[in-house]
Structure 1
Amino acid sequence: MIEVIGLTRRFGRSAAVDDLSFTVAPGKITGFLGPNGAGKTTTMRIILGLDRPTSGRATVNGVPYRTLARPLTHVGALLDASAVQGGRRAEQHLRWLARTNGIPSTRIGGLLELVGLGEAGRQRVGAFSLGMKQRLGLAATLLGDPEALLLDEPLNGLDPEGIRWMRGLLKSLAAEGRTVLVSSHLMHEMAVTADHLIVIGRGRLLADTEMTRFVRPGRSLEDTFMDVIGSAS
């Protein structure tokens, strides 16, 4: 379980996240929605210990990410698929991550096959397309067989076949009882993928509810989202 409690992050006089609280429960896909600049990425960075809050806290299974031993075995994250050393081969990248967290390298081959990069393991990442980098990032996310997954715009660069594949994989991971938090601007995809929604605007919580309660009959997720954001503005 991921918990965000009274989280605030200020940059000077501006609040990127403003007294934000929510819980991401296991066994379902939680969509994390908001317009550009709403504070989604900042919130995820704080959950992962990459940024410090001005006040409040974020925990994974009751403890801050920074205190986790071998964190990749508890939490897998994909925030920026392009943030990989281009000179490394895909297999080398995963091997290095595995070594830092005491994860058996025997998992690497199977994960590359799972994400569709079985024949690209020896290729240098700098030659990968964005979609291939997303797949490699997902392999890194799953490397430690974590209980919780945080994915920021994981569909970027994927073709329709890749998007369908990602959707099925996320659903299967949630069905295994994992906690899955997905940030995306693709409303039509979130509408068929997410079970629960957390919507924020200007760093504040606007909605925390089941998908079926958020979207009224005859309305689309995009329509309802725009109504909520417009009312908040």
Structure 2
Amino acid sequence: MIEVIGLTRRFGRSAAVDDLSFTVNPGKITGFLGPNGAGKTTTLRIILGLDRPTTGRATVNGVPYRTLDRPLTHVGALLDASAVQGGRRADQHLQWLARTNGISFRGINGLLETVGLGDAGRRRVGGLSLGMKQRLGVAAALLGDPEVLLLDEPLNGLDPEGIRWMRGLLKSLAAEGRTVLVSSHLMHEMAVTADHLIVIGRGRLLADTEITQFVRPGMSLEDTFMRVIEESAP
């Protein structure tokens, strides 16, 4: 599981994350929602050891990410699909990641097939569309067969077929008992994908509940989300 406990991250006088606590449990898809600037990406970066909190802590299976041995075998993450060396081939990118974590190359071709890039393995990453880069990012997240997955806006650049594929993939990963945390602005997709929601605003927790309990009677997820954000405004 993922645990965030009393997490605060300040930049000068501003708090991007403000005393935030929540737990992401295995076996379900947890949607991580909030408006722009709510602190979602900062929180994900702290969980992944890419940023340090001012106070509080974030752990994966009880320990900080930075202390994990061969971290890709524990946690798979997609934060920015475009942050890849464009001159490398797609398969070389995965091979480089595998080498850094002592992962065998043998499953790479099959993994590319799984994410719909079976014919693109020898293409340069710089020549791939955004949707194809997203699929490659998902392949990188799955490379070490991790039990925990963190995906930030994984639907960016995907066409309707790709969105449907991603939805099925996330559901299958959760059904296998993995911990799946997905940050997204696409409310209509979260409405049919997420089992649990963590909603934040201005760095603070606004809701931590099953989606069926969050959505108000007669309202859509988007309508309820907007109402909660409006009600939390000073």
1:114 aligns with 2:117: no
Q: Which amino acid aligns with 1:75?
A: V
| 1:39 match | 39
Q: Which amino acid aligns with 1:56?
A: G
| 1:152 match | 152
| 1:60 match | 60
Partners of 2:166 and 2:72 in 1: CA distance: 20
SS at match of 1:52: coil
Q: Which amino acid aligns with 1:155?
A: L
Aligned pairs for 1:138-177 (under 5 A) are 138-177=138-177
| 2:223 match | 223
C-alpha deviations, 1:87-125, integer Å up to 9, x for none?
Answer: 000000000000000001011011100000000000000
SS at match of 1:191: helix
Partners of 2:174 and 2:217 in 1: CA distance: 25
| 2:21 match | 21
Partners of 1:114 and 1:170 in 2: CA distance: 13
Partners of 1:105 and 1:47 in 2: CA distance: 27
Unaligned runs of 5+ in 1: none
Partners of 2:110 and 2:220 in 1: CA distance: 38
1:79 aligns with 2:71: no
Q: Which amino acid aligns with 2:152?
A: D
| 1:183 match | 183
> How big is the shift at 1:217?
3.0
> How big is the shift at 1:218?
1.9
Percent of residue pairs identical: 88
SS at match of 2:174: helix
C-alpha deviations, 1:143-201, integer Å up to 9, x for none?
Answer: 00000000000000000000000000000000000000000000000000000000000
SS at match of 2:29: strand
> How big is the shift at 1:135?
0.2
Task: Could you list the structure 1 runs, at least 4 aligned residues long, displaced by more than 2 angstroms after superposition.
Answer: none
SS at match of 2:154: coil
C-alpha deviations, 1:1-38, integer Å up to 9, x for none?
Answer: 00000000000000000000000000000000000000
SS at match of 1:164: helix
| 1:123 match | 123
Partners of 2:122 and 2:129 in 1: CA distance: 15
Partners of 1:67 and 1:160 in 2: CA distance: 39
1:89 aligns with 2:89: yes
Partners of 1:107 and 1:49 in 2: CA distance: 27
SS at match of 1:150: strand
1:207 aligns with 2:207: yes
Output the TM-score relative to the length of structure 1: 1.00
Q: Which amino acid aligns with 1:166?
A: M
Tell me the number of residue pairs that the alignment of Structure 1 and Structure 2 aligns: 233
Output the TM-score relative to the length of structure 2: 0.99
Q: Which amino acid aligns with 2:4?
A: V
Partners of 2:43 and 2:107 in 1: CA distance: 30
Partners of 1:113 and 1:195 in 2: CA distance: 28
